Amino acid sequence: MNVDVVANLATVRAQIDAAVARAGRRSGEVQLLAVSKTHPAAAVRSAFAAGQRAFGENRVQELAAKAAELRDLDSVQWHLIGSLQTNKVRELLAVPGLALVHSLDRPRLADELQRELAPTGRRLAVLLQANVTGEASKHGCPPGELPALLAHVQQRAPALVVEGLMAMGPLEGDPVQAFALASRLRDELRAASGLSLPTLSLGMSGDLDAAVAAGSTLVRIGTAVFGRRD
């Protein structure tokens, strides 16, 4: 099946703009992260040619391979949105164009990232991943442990720049309550830490409107851009 990535991108961007307008927010407040996991590098190249710059991947191995194949795309920005194991940290940090890690969910991972980054003098933007649905199938820091995780990063991992929060809606049912909790948690962390935490990564193809209404600044859209996964 041939997928028109360029047309799909235009449609998704229009959907985001419409959701922003319905929520009474300003144009440009919500950015699109095109989730390219399991799709070939050629699909990313097509999206890049249509002006898309930020792409999300779930697995470090796939991200590293795709980034290597697309090394000629100078301004590409790679986001890791899947769970990160500590034994994959070094491989991840070698990815050219790595812009943001969405899945910082425990102190041990922060420590490993700090250990690898410290000798290089490099800093890395991260989001704290919160499990706002309570589902055991989801990764993420429990809401009650987020303040301690953020404090740990501030005190022990100066190479990490916490940009905000990432969360996922429920597998089934209305995501409004979960997204409202994520937004509130971000506000509480702002107040406690003094950080601006500008990024709230909420929403995928099926819950875009609810995410934008809750204050999402970054929506993670895959199928609607690249088509169904095999």
pLDDT at 48: 98
- On the question of pLDDT at 154 being above 70, the answer is yes
Rounded mean pLDDT, 187-209: 96
Contacts of 31 (CB under 8 A, 6+ apart): 54, 217, 218, 219
Average pLDDT, the chain: 96
| Block residue for tokens 């922003």 | 20
DSSP 19-63: HHHHTTPPTTSSEEEEE-TTS-HHHHHHHHHTT--EEEES-HHHH
What domains are defined for the chain? Answer: 5-221 (3.20.20.10)
Tokens of 200: 């709230």
pTM attached to this predicted model = 0.96
Confidence of residue 137 (pLDDT cuts 50, 70, 90): confident
Partners of residue 100 on adjacent β-strands: 79
- On the question of pLDDT at 229 being above 80, the answer is no
Per residue in 78-106, pLDDT (tens digit) is: 999 999 999 999 999 999 999 999 999 99
pLDDT at 2: 77
pLDDT at 230: 65
Tokens of 146: 């987020």
pLDDT at 164: 98
